[in-house]
Structure formats: C-alpha cells, structure tokens
C-alpha cells in the first residue's frame, strides 16, 4: 500500500530578507529629498526648480520642432527606449532612443563601443536638439562621448546619474540630476521616476491649455 507524504509548507521569507526589501521601498519614498540638481557650472538648485527648468528645455525643443535623443546602457537603455516612446506617443514630441540592434553592433564593430552614441549623433542630431543622457555611474565612456559629440553639433544636454558625486557626467548637462546612491535599483528607479514626472506634468499642462481653448 502506497504511503503519502505530507506536503511541507513553503518557507517564509527570512526576516532579514524582508527587512531589506522594505528598506528598498522606503528609500524610494525619500527620492524627492535626496535628488541633487546642478547646472554645468556647478550651481545647485532645488528639485522643483530643476524640474521646471528641464521641462522648459523640453518644451522649447518641441516648439522648435527639434528632437529629444535618449541614450543609456543596460537598464538605462531600457529607460531610454521606454521614455522615448512615451515622450513621442503621450507627449507629442519628436523623440528617439539610439537602441537599434543593427546600429549598435555596426558602430561598435567599426568604431568601438565607446563611440556607439557619438557617431550616430554627429550625423543625425541637429542644432537645438536635446540629448537626455542616462547613466547610473555617470562614468560610461560612450555616454560621455555621446554628450560631447551632441554638444559639438549644437545640441544641449540633460543628464541623470548616480553613484559618486564627482562623476564626470554631472558637469556636461545644462541641468544634471544626481541620485546619491550606489544601489543600481534605487538610481534607475529614480531616473525613470524623474522622466515620468516631467512628462506627466507636461501632459497635464497641455490638457489644461486645450481645455481652456475649448471653453
């Protein structure tokens, strides 16, 4: 006669594991108090002022019919693709992410991965465009070269970085958003949240303007 074995209950998450997860979520709530915003000259401004100025840059780019270029590696590349689609579809702006597989492999093979964004931007970007450079470390050579190439073309830059406060990307944008954390997840979620927050605010402003026009 076959015997049946009792099914063991699932092990609960260890208290330390649970505490770590809750600490991560708590850290997300502190984002508005921790993000630092500086100009290219190193002048600090509040997050509210930084967001206002960044949204003014994005709006001016759109009014002039210029393009937003999003660049990033890895998780930041995913953010770049996501936000390029959102800023185009929901924001009505010309927006592109340089994440096409053929483009990336071609430029990497022919010029080197450190020039994977710089070479396309030298050809495709136009004066008055805005490059939104996303890098958790703020030290990725291809991001730094991409911003330099864009500025040589007469474009402006907005940067999002993290990790070390002295990372070089913080000196390249007209506005630079920095999250003082070495946790990839915290930094990446911060960058995504900032970009979402600005787009949502721009969409709300457009709805109010359209509503007033119909009244």
| Predicted pLDDT of residue 27 | 85
For residue 159, CA distances in Å to 90, 144, 152 come to 22, 10, 16
Residue 19 CA: distances (Å) to CA of 3, 14, 30 = 40, 9, 17
Distance CA 115, CA 42 (A): 26
Structural domain boundaries in the chain? 34-207
pLDDT at 29 (0 to 100): 86
| Cα separation, 111 vs 106, whole angstroms | 8
Residue 143: strand, helix, or coil: helix
What pLDDT shows up at residue 122? 97
Topology classification of domain 34-207: Rossmann fold (3.40.50)
pLDDT tens digits, the chain, 215 residues: what are they?
555 565 555 655 567 787 888 888 888 888 889 999 999 999 999 999 999 999 999 999 999 999 999 999 999 999 999 999 999 999 999 999 999 999 999 999 999 999 999 999 999 999 999 999 999 999 999 999 999 999 999 999 999 999 999 999 999 999 999 999 999 999 999 999 999 999 999 999 888 888 888 87
Torsion angle (degrees, nearest 10) of CA 102, 103, 104, 107:
120
């Amino acid at each position: 006669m076959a015997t049946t074995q009792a099914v063991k209950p699932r092990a609960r998450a260890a208290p330390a594991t649970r505490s770590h997860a809750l600490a991560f979520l708590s850290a997300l709530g502190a984002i508005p108090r921790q993000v630092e915003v500086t100009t290219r000259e190193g002048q600090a401004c509040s997050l509210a002022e930084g967001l206002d100025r960044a949204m003014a840059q994005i709006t001016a780019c759109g009014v002039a019919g210029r393009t937003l270029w999003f660049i990033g590696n890895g998780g930041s590349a995913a953010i770049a693709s996501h936000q390029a689609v959102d800023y185009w579809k929901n924001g009505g702006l010309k927006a592109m992410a340089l994440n096409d597989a053929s483009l990336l492999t071609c430029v990497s093979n022919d010029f080197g991965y450190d020039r994977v964004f710089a070479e396309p931007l030298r050809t495709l970007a136009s004066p008055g465009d805005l490059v939104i450079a996303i890098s958790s470390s703020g030290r990725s050579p291809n991001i730094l070269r991409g911003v330099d190439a864009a500025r040589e073309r007469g474009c402006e830059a907005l940067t999002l970085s993290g990790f070390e406060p002295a990372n070089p990307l913080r000196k390249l944008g007209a506005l630079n958003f920095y999250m003082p954390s070495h946790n990839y997840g915290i930094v990446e979620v911060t960058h995504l949240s900032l970009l979402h927050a600005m787009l949502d605010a721009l969409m709300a402003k457009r709805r109010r303007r359209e509503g007033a026009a119909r009244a």
